[in-house]
Amino acid sequence: MKYLIIGLGNFGGVLAEQLTALGHEVVGVDLHGLQAERYKEKLATTYVLDATDDMALSVLPLNSVDIVIVAIGENFGASVKVVSLLKKRKVKHIYARAVDDVHKAVLEAFSLTRILTPEKDAAIALVQLLELDADVEPFAVDDNNYVFKFSIPSKLVGYKISELSIEKEFHIRIISLIRGKRTTNAIGISRIEKTSDAAYTQDFVLTADDGLVCYGLYSDFISFWKSVK
């Protein structure tokens, strides 16, 4: 895919580098020459211009990219003005970074494809890591509901799935069982192969090598997780 990123600061610059590393074509734009120069050899093209200037914006290949990302965050006025000009030019897919709830609320008025909240997301991810530890991978569906993928805690090893009562007690629905099977490769090294099984039986006995994928409220899962850790 082809991306155009406006603002090559800490967020926009890393985003541009990572997308490029994944094989995407990235065009970078920044008001400051030093920032643009920093990524000149890393990106497909870089521009030094003021994206809040409608005439300057006209030189950018807005209609030949798949997504335009406004990575400006700290300068609230510049962020909103750039988004407004992009909408005026009928750019179809616009992602924009919001640094707080007020910023997000204003951007929501433009009906953008997506509003990015990297600072908030990073803080939430850190809290989840500290609260759930590395045994759980949470995936947000919305602000309250999550899909959770986790390894079986030692307290649950030896239990049948029917004995867990996760749905009844904690209102968490099991989506899939992750079966862990120990195998030995050609040179004798032991490893665990994991396969997803949505058609598991209720009398399946859980082992330390297994895992589960569940769906439910984040608060309900925390209650469940604290009860088994």
Domain ranges of the chain: 2-119, 127-228
Higher pLDDT, 195 or 87: 87
With CA atoms as reference, report the closest residue to 68 among 49, 87, 43, 42: 87
Q: For 7-26, what is each residue's pLDDT tens digit?
A: 999 999 999 999 999 999 99
What pLDDT is recorded for position 220? 93
Query: Superfamily for 127-228?
Result: Regulator of K+ conductance, C-terminal domain (3.30.70.1450)
Percent of the chain with pLDDT over 70: 97
| 2-119, CATH topology level | Rossmann fold (3.40.50)
The predicted model scores a pTM of: 0.69
Tokens describing residue 216: 């439910």
Burial zone of 180 (CB within 10 Å; 0-12 exposed, 13-18 middle, 19+ buried): middle
CB 206 within 8 A of CB 197: no
Residues in a beta bridge with 114: 95
Three-class DSSP category at 162: helix
What pLDDT sits at residue 200? 85
Structure tokens given for 96:
């924009």
Q: How many CB atoms lie within 10 A of CB 134?
A: 7
Whole-angstrom CA distances from 83 to 54, 56, 57, 158 are: 11, 14, 11, 55
Residue 184 has pLDDT above 80, yes or no: no
φ, ψ of residue 193 to 5 degrees: the values are -95, 130
Q: Mean pLDDT across the stretch 140-168? A: 90
Q: Say if residue 120's pLDDT is above 70.
A: yes
β-bridge mates for residue 160, sequence order? 205
Residue-level pLDDT at 193: 78
